[in-house]
Amino acid sequence: MTDDRFRSAEGARAVGEEYARLVSTYLPGVERTVVDGTHVLSAGPDGAPSVLLLHGSGGTSLNWANEIPQLARTHRVHAIDLPGEPGGTVVSRLPLESGAHAAWLAGVSDALDAAEATVIGESLGGWVALDYAAEHPARVRTLGLLSPGGLGPRRTAPLLVAGLLSLLGEPGRRAAMQYFTGWTPPTDPGLGRDLAAFSGLTFRNFRPRTDGLPVFPDAALAGITARVSAAFGGRDRMLDGPRAAEHARAVFGEDAVALLPDVGHLLPDRAERVLAVCSG
């Protein structure tokens, strides 16, 4: 059967094999489970407080490879591959309508014995986390949002710039990724460089979703009862960070929101923020 997430069967196989290699290399003690087609990386002691990690569009649970071992010292951590994304989950891409992702995540969290958890989402994962917290407020103790969708409009002009850069072959694709995310991949051997190479492999072969993330109405967000910690980049070229931060402050309060003026879409201090959310 052809996996329509990818441009070819060979590309799908290459991404899957590299995904497995990187998990074995950098997360050797992690548990890999599949819940009704949803692939999850889990670590940490049974019975410890649960944390759900939700990655962004075009990403996988490997995006959390730096945070998983640190969180697993004190928490039961589940990094979940989102439906329709390039990780191990084979659930079909869900519609971006309120409740669809929330229902999916509720079923997965029940199977993981994580019906009450801290939920942390980045970009698309932040949108999913908001949907979940709005639909199932009693399930979310703390909500950590990193450049989340759903609180402000996406930017469209930078898409054209990134598209033009991508026409220039592999150097152009690297430049487009750096321009669009604000992230400069490290050059030293190790996790950062390998994840950057994996991202390049993924986007050469994966078909990302192109529909924009809808902004949640205030009436839906008002149902969220969790403690919220949200951070946005003032120079985010994917989402309008300043407008999203303004909206988040209006809904969740001034103290819940940080706007980092010189930062792009991917936050440079993400691990510290994740650990702070989980220890609060």
pLDDT confidence bin for 211, thresholds 50/70/90 = confident
Query: Tens of pLDDT along 19-48?
Result: 999 999 999 999 999 999 999 999 999 999
- Mean predicted confidence (pLDDT) in 49-58: 96
Residue (of 157, 155, 129) closest to 141 by Cα position: 129
Q: Which residues contact 223 (CB under 8 A, 6 or more apart)?
A: 134, 135, 137
The CATH-assigned architecture of domain 9-155+212-279 is 3-Layer(aba) Sandwich (3.40)
Read off the pLDDT of residues 256-278 as tens digits, 9 standing for 90 and up: 999 999 999 999 999 999 999 99
- In this structure, are residues 52 and 274 in contact, taking their beta carbons and an 8 Å threshold? no
Note the pTM of the prediction, 2 decimals. Answer: 0.93
Q: Give me the phi and psi of 193, to 5 degrees please.
A: -65, -40
For the residues 73-85, what does the mean pLDDT come to? Answer: 97
Q: Percent helix, strand, coil in the chain (nearest 5)? A: 45, 20, 40
Q: CA-to-CA distance for 58 and 199, rounded, in angstroms? A: 8
Name the band, by pLDDT with cuts 50, 70 and 90, for residue 175.
low
- For residues 226 and 242, what is the distance between their CA atoms, to the nearest angstrom? 23
Please state, in angstroms and rounded to a whole number, the distance separating the CA atoms of residues 131 and 151: 11
